[in-house]
Structure 1
């Protein structure tokens, strides 16, 4: 196996962009679902005894829709990935902690897997096809 495979995949291919897009898909779909049924989302938040369901909805919409968009285009990718990873873990702990329920356990583990993928993005960056990479290239060229 080529020891430089990681560097090649990150710097010279579309693999990181595809990975970012696949991770972002679940956030897009979740955000659109919340946007389509805000009352149901707020009722679910309230049913757990959390304060300010409307603020929770707005926060979730911003994180999911804006975060997914920024992740796909690769802008501030490491920071966005880190924020979404924290969001995934926090939502797992708050909304999917009934681990005796197989469906909730599945969602809990799904959120942890998403966080793991996002931490990889935070660790290794956006890759070649990203705004972050273009900005870095402009900065290098100007120096």
Structure 2
């Protein structure tokens, strides 16, 4: 009997939980994009400090990925494709910017990005949910 109740409750809450998860995952991308827009010189300097070529190009590419990808994920537009792109972006960011694992802050940032990629892969696997533009 309790299994039936758990299934009924799960079914009624699932769309809201999926939507909340999408919004929470997307928030860091949107906020990071806004932060880069607020200080493009500082952001480009940080990108240059890790030795990436064309820091200005990388900056505007990152802003586009973070803002457009984050907003699309919130809306649930092309959720699986967007989540896959953001997962790849998160893993690349972990490797390129946070690979100094002997530094505790970088260690945490590295695995935060890896964990975000894991959450995004759940969206790739299961879709954006019923309350997304994709509807599933």
TM-score scaled by length of structure 2: 0.90
5+ long unaligned stretches in structure 1: 137-143
Greater RCO, CA 8 A, separation 6+: 1
Partner of 1:30: 32
TM-score scaled by length of structure 1: 0.86
* Alignment partners' CA distance in 2, 1:42 and 1:91: 14
Could you say what secondary structure the match of 1:97 adopts? coil
Aligned counterparts, 1:45-124, within 5 A? 45-124=47-126
String of CA shifts for 1:67-125, please: whole Å, max 9, x gaps: 00000000000000000000000000000000000000000010001000000011000
Change (3 A) 1:43 1:62: same
5+ long unaligned stretches in structure 2: none
Partner of 1:8: 11
RMSD over equivalenced CA pairs, Å: 1.9
Count of matched residue positions in the alignment of Structure 1 and Structure 2? 132
Deviation beyond 2 Å, 4+ runs, structure 1: 1-5, 7-10
